Amino acid sequence: MTTRPSRQGARPVRQATGAMIAPAPERTGKEGPRKPMELPASITVKDLAGRLGVTPVQVIKQLMRNGIMANVNQELPYEVAAVVARDFNFEMKDIPKKLTAVAGSKKSARFREEPSKDQVIRPPVVTIMGHVDHGKTSLLDAIRHTNVIATEAGGITQHIGAYQVESDGKRITFLDTPGHEAFTAMRARGANVTDIAIIVVAADDGVMPQTVEAIDHARAAGVPVIVAINKIDKPGANPEKIKKQLGELGLVLEEWGGEVITVNVSAKKNLGIPELLENILVLAEVSELKASPNKPAAGTVVEAEMDKNQGPLATVLIQSGTLHVGDVVVVGTTGGKVKAMLNDKGKRVRKAEPAAPVIVLGLDTVPQAGDILEAVAGEKEARAILEKRGLQKQREAAAPKKAASLDQLYSQIREGQVKDLNIILKTDVQGSIEPIRLSLEKLSTDQVKVKTIHSGTGTITESDVLLAIASRAIIIGFNSKPEPGAKKMAELEGVDIRNYSVIYNLVEDVEKAMKGMLEPVYEEVVDGRATVKSVFPSGKKTRAAGCQVNEGKLVRAVLARVVRAGKVIHQSTIASLRRFKEDVKEVATGFECGVGVDGFNDFVPGDVIEAYHKERTS
Ligand code: GDP
């Protein structure tokens, strides 16, 4: 059941709408006398909430209890606002005792927002995240099996990457790949499909590192969260402990006057699922999710595969417009004509509206998850777009990525490109996080705000790198190194990972970067190695080495060092390079040559001459 202290002890009742909504509290007299209040002839939900000192979510829920669906900017007439205010213990003059005049399913339609010509309310798209084993998959299954859309009875959802259920006559779309990695991977590819994140926390276990990660990933995306406190059937379940832990993470729960809704559920025993769905719908109302179905379709691929018989199959979540069989589409760098579409029950459909997941048949090749689908006017236009995209892709592959980096920060701040310096902070021990976070956030100026969007202990993971890509963040490791996979991904995507072991240096670097004073970091790259075989005079006082190039090449005038028994004994440049007494510019692997190193005359056979150059890494 939803946790609302204002209604603690109240038993849930089934309303005319069919939703499980707990009734408003009986007046016991303990609340104190009603506070006097005046209201205008009409007032928006948001303003009313402000006057009542409660959240818009609380007002919307109270309206729902009266059978009225409203969103946050909706104007409420005096008589409706007054009844809600009364429920919150305010006293008005001349108010109706009951909302009979407007309540009830038929009449409540009056208060639904009249959809504008183009935009209509669309179902919310929900992702489930949380720590491993806390019940994400079980919850997705429980929702899928308890709420199969009645009109499509008999159809048990198939796994196609997303499915829809119905609650209170309204649809909700769930993405069927749980976890914040999948969520952020989509974002890193530029696809933002999720409207609401459900964070699952097992009531017998509590907030764990991946719970915190999931919350941070949702926050970084600006996606509102609902916490599903799962496994409440277990004897050791302690929802109150979980709420306390959530509070410690800075989540202000609804029952404390905040925006974060918690719902107690058991995926195993099917408890609390209707309440969870109801709260998703409330949050969706507040978020005012709209889309126009009367446009050419646009959507995002959530899953794709090659089917032996049917060819490329792509599950697409439609986000705006309507996709029809026969439409010509471009999807990432592929395209085609929609031959057929299947919904999440495996049923053939001729059209798909906003927030509907459908399998699209008829694409030329298999697209990638995260690719955007767009319906276009015809095949000619599709070809032109795809050609352009192909070229663009080649260009992007050749050009360095424009990820966030400390080194470029100053110019980006000056160009007004950066307003927030997003930081992901990984440390070896928990105790280092807070002092570093505070020191970094103190560096914020009027132009740029330093924000730690995620922090944690342990190594730098691929999930951290994905978050950095999706949120244009810099990763700072304090005594924490990246895992090999994460390092590779960061290099490929141009994500800046900085390692420090002294807090002062870390904070100083960020401060310098913000002021454009950061010294670039160079890395030495070896171009070639040659082994000294003999030594001979090359001038009056100088000696050269007769060498064989074993690796790469030696180039005149580049940086060089002489290595003896693994130790560098001299560093300067290659002063002369000769083959058969002739000056040459470079000598490649396998060839012999005479090498003079600036300021060095003490070669002995066996020494190694390394030619190298410095490359800027930041
Ligand atoms: P995931 O890793 O987050 O997807 O977690 P799963 O859905 O795979 O669940 C992990 C384990 O917890 C499984 O053994 C489930 O049967 C069990 N589990 C999930 N939900 C509940 C619940 O509400 N109550 C109980 N008792 N067990 C649950």
Read off the pLDDT band of 16 (50, 70, 90). very low
As a residue count, the chain comes to 618
CA of 138, closest atom in ligand 1: 7
CA of 230, closest atom in ligand 1: 23
Cα angle vertex 474, ends 200, 250, to 5°? 35
At residue 589, the pLDDT reads 92
Ligand 1, atom 24: closest residue by C-alpha? 231
Question: Would the pLDDT of 29 be above 60?
Answer: no
Q: With pLDDT > 90 as the criterion, what percentage of the chain qualifies?
A: 48
Work out the average pLDDT over 546-572: 91
Q: How far is the CA of 280 from the centre of ligand 1 (A)?
A: 21
At residue 8, the pLDDT reads 31
**What's the pLDDT tens digit per position in 435-449?**
999 999 999 888 788
**What's the pLDDT tens digit per position in 370-407?**
888 999 998 888 888 888 777 666 666 555 445 667 77
Residue 133 near ligand 1, beta carbon < 6 Å: yes
At residue 317, the pLDDT reads 95
**What's the pLDDT tens digit per position in 136-193?**
999 999 998 876 544 444 455 567 899 999 888 899 999 988 889 889 988 888 788 9
CA of 271, closest atom in ligand 1: 23
37: nearest Cα among 93, 79, 78, 96? 93
Question: Would the pLDDT of 95 be above 50?
Answer: no
Work out the average pLDDT over 527-538: 92
Read off the pLDDT band of 101 (50, 70, 90). very low
When comparing pLDDT for 55 and 564, which is higher? 564
Q: How far is the CA of 134 from the centre of ligand 1 (A)?
A: 6
Residue 441 in 3-state DSSP? helix
Least confident range from 67-71, 249-253, 294-298, 468-472: namely 67-71
Average pLDDT of the chain?
82
Question: Would the pLDDT of 126 be above 90?
Answer: yes
Question: Would the pLDDT of 86 be above 50?
Answer: yes
Q: How far is the CA of 136 from the centre of ligand 1 (A)?
A: 7
Q: With pLDDT > 70 as the criterion, what percentage of the chain qualifies?
A: 83
Work out the average pLDDT over 333-361: 93
Give, for ligand 1, the residue of 134, 138, 145 to mutate: max count of ligand atoms closer than 8 Å to Cβ: 138
Residue type, position 613, single letter: H
At residue 520, the pLDDT reads 62
- Contact status, residue 56 vs residue 72, Cβ threshold 8 Å: yes
Q: Which stretch of DSSP H or E encloses residue 450? A: strand 449-457
Give, for ligand 1, the residue of 132, 133, 180, 183 to mutate: max count of ligand atoms closer than 8 Å to Cβ: 133
| End-to-end CA separation in angstroms for the chain | 52
Rounded Cα distance between 188 and 489, Å, is 12
Q: Are strands 323-324 and 348-349 parallel, antiparallel or unpaired?
A: unpaired
Residue 137 near ligand 1, beta carbon < 6 Å: yes
Give whole-number Cα distances, 274 to 99, 159, 265, 279, 435, in Å. Answer: 25, 22, 9, 9, 43
Read off the pLDDT band of 270 (50, 70, 90). very high
**What's the pLDDT tens digit per position in 279-312?**
999 999 888 888 888 889 999 999 999 999 899 9
226: nearest Cα among 170, 310, 282, 173? 282
CA of 141, closest atom in ligand 1: 7
Residue 482 near ligand 1, beta carbon < 6 Å: no
- Contact status, residue 516 vs residue 529, Cβ threshold 8 Å: no
Residue 204 near ligand 1, beta carbon < 6 Å: no
Residue 128 near ligand 1, beta carbon < 6 Å: no
Residue type, position 437, single letter: R
Q: How far is the CA of 414 from the centre of ligand 1 (A)?
A: 50
Residue 71 near ligand 1, beta carbon < 6 Å: no
Residue 113 near ligand 1, beta carbon < 6 Å: no
Work out the average pLDDT over 519-529: 78
Read off the pLDDT band of 105 (50, 70, 90). very low
Residue 46 near ligand 1, beta carbon < 6 Å: no
CA of 134, closest atom in ligand 1: 3
283: nearest Cα among 585, 52, 57? 57
Residue 122 near ligand 1, beta carbon < 6 Å: no
Residue 184 near ligand 1, beta carbon < 6 Å: no
Residue 179 near ligand 1, beta carbon < 6 Å: no
Residue 345 near ligand 1, beta carbon < 6 Å: no
At residue 20, the pLDDT reads 32
Read off the pLDDT band of 113 (50, 70, 90). very low
Question: Would the pLDDT of 242 be above 60?
Answer: yes
When comparing pLDDT for 84 and 134, which is higher? 134
Residue 138 near ligand 1, beta carbon < 6 Å: yes
